[in-house]
A = this chain, B = another copy of it.
Amino acid sequence: MKTRTCTEFVLLGALLQSPKHGYEIMQFLEPALGSTWQVSTSQLYVLVKRLEREGLLESAVESQDNRPSRRVFSLTPAGSKAFLKWVHSPAEHVRDLRAEFLAKLFFFRHLALKGGTELVDAQIRTLKEIRQGIFKKKDKEPDPFKGLVLGIKAMTIHMWLQWLRQEAKPFVRRMHTDE
């Protein structure tokens, strides 16, 4: 199975509630996710076209009077399956956490999805595993510079673990009690 980027999954997620045309996707995502996640308009059109070619989206042209006609995209079953799998899976790499985890949290709130707590817990477990590997390496690292690098990695993971417990968990819990 082809590995997809976070960007593509965000586009899929934007269409889960309702079909949208390119310009509308942009208007939806920019104010909501603009602080964490960005795509240029031109790239957006390139990506939805490709996602359609690959069977995750389908589209229909809708003509309007007074306005240029637009191509409305909607999720296929394969597309919504792929999105839902992604949104419930923890990020594998620490470097992806910021963009990817925040995007997932956004969709949990926006789409009122279940399983937010489970996602946070799974992400915590994934990070703890990565941290184990770093601790092992750090123990047998003689070079002080490489020790510094491993120290930063460990510190970054520590920061995220704290954030997941203190900020992300209350955030997803609040979502459920709001309903």
In the complex, what residue of chain B is closest to A158 when comparing beta carbons? Answer: B159
CB distance from A102 to the nearest CB of B (A): 6
Number of copies: 2
Let me know if A155 is at the binding interface, CB within 8 A.
yes
Range, interface on chain A: 20 to 34
Partner of A171, one of B32, B144, B171: B144
Q: What is the CA–CA distance of A148 and B36 in the complex, to the nearest angstrom? A: 10
Q: How far is the CB of A84 from chain B (nearest CB, A)?
A: 20
- Interface residues, chain A, CB within 8 Å of chain B? 32, 35-36, 98, 102, 105-106, 109, 144-146, 148-152, 155-156, 159, 163, 167-168, 171, 174
Q: Which residues of B contact A148 (CB under 8 A)?
A: 102, 105, 167-168, 171
25 pairs from A and B in contact (CB 8 Å cutoff): A32-B145, A35-B146, A35-B149, A35-B150, A36-B149, A98-B152, A102-B148, A102-B149, A102-B152, A105-B145, A105-B148, A106-B145, A109-B145, A144-B171, A144-B174, A148-B167, A148-B168, A148-B171, A151-B163, A151-B167, A152-B163, A155-B159, A155-B163, A156-B159, A159-B159
CB distance from A177 to the nearest CB of B (A): 13
User: Considering only CB atoms, which chain B residue lies closest to A144 in the complex?
Assistant: B171
